[in-house]
Amino acid sequence: MKNVAILAASAGTLSLLCTMGSAQSAADQPPLASPLTFNEAISIALEEQPGTIAEIALERSNGDVVIDIEVINEVGDEVEFHLDPATGEILSSWTDDDPGDDPGETDDADADG
């Protein structure tokens, strides 16, 4: 189970949701932390891709801590960014054509069988 801290935007209200993995997995990895604030990260993402923030999360990707930001652009595409939480550098970005196939997310209704 991955550790994730999520800041979800809904109807102009931001709420912080946190989930923690098992105590053993948390002890094996450094804590999720970022000197870059979520507001700073949002500014970086919106400068690159104007739109509406759908989700922002501090999470692990391939063992590294990243800030994951999802922006819905003017045509309704979800553009996702991974930012370095120390520098704000955009490590990667892509258009997420199927948000249901994101790692760690499942949708049993779409399962084959």
The token duo for 2 is 């991955």
The pLDDT assigned to 51 comes to: 98
What is d(CA 96, CA 10) in angstroms, rounded to the nearest whole number? 20
Who contacts 42 (Cβ-Cβ below 8 Å, separation ≥6)?
53, 56, 69
Who contacts 96 (Cβ-Cβ below 8 Å, separation ≥6)?
70, 77, 78, 79, 80, 102
The pLDDT assigned to 103 comes to: 54
pLDDT tens per residue, range 4-39: 444 444 333 333 333 334 444 556 776 788 999 999
pTM (2 decimals)? 0.65
What is d(CA 89, CA 47) in angstroms, rounded to the nearest whole number? 12
CATH architecture of 4-110: Roll (3.10)
* Of 16 and 41, more confident: 41
pLDDT tens per residue, range 52-66: 999 999 999 988 999
**Domain definitions of the chain by residue range:** 4-110
